[in-house]
Amino acid sequence: MPTLPPIANLQAFEAVARRRSFALAAAELNLTASAISHQVSRLEAQLDVRLFERSAHGVRLSPAGEHYLMHVGAALNAIATATDDLRQGIRNSLYVHTAPSIASLWLMPRLHHFAQAYPEISLNLSAAHTPSDFALGQADIDIRYGVPQWGDLVVEPLFEEAIVPLASPAFIKAHKLKRAEQLLDLPLIQSNVSIVQWSDWFGRFTKLRAPDRFSLRFDRAQMSLDAATQGLGVALESAVNAGGHLADGRLKAPFGMEQAVRVKAHFAVYPERHAKRPAVEAFLSWLHSEAAQT
182 and 256 in a single domain? The answer is yes
Domain count, the chain: 3
Quick one: DSSP state of residue 265?
A: -
Dump pLDDT digits (tens) for 120-137.
898 989 888 888 877 767
In a domain, 201, yes or no: yes
Dump pLDDT digits (tens) for 61-94.
999 999 898 888 878 877 776 676 665 554 578 9
Question: Do residues 156 and 284 touch, judged by C-beta distance below 8 A?
Answer: yes
145 — alpha (psi -120 to 50), left (phi > 0) or beta?
Answer: beta
Threshold 0.75, pTM exceeds? no
In a domain, 82, yes or no: no
In a domain, 87, yes or no: no
192 and 127 in a single domain? The answer is no
Which of 15-19, 27-31, 194-198 ranks highest by mean pLDDT? 194-198
Give 249 or 85, the one with higher predicted confidence. 249
Alpha helices in the chain (DSSP H): 7-19, 22-29, 33-47, 63-87, 100-102, 111-117, 169-174, 198-205, 221-229, 243-247, 278-292
User: Residue 291's pLDDT is what?
Assistant: 94
Average of per-residue pLDDT values in the chain: 89
Segments forming the whole domain that contains residue 222: 161-263
Alpha helices in 21-62 (DSSP H): 22-29, 33-47
Give 13 or 89, the one with higher predicted confidence. 13
In a domain, 31, yes or no: yes
Question: Do residues 6 and 40 touch, judged by C-beta distance below 8 A?
Answer: no
In a domain, 85, yes or no: no
Question: Do residues 50 and 12 touch, judged by C-beta distance below 8 A?
Answer: no
Backbone angles phi, psi at 156, to 5 degrees: -120, 115
In a domain, 84, yes or no: no
275 and 255 in a single domain? The answer is no
In a domain, 206, yes or no: yes
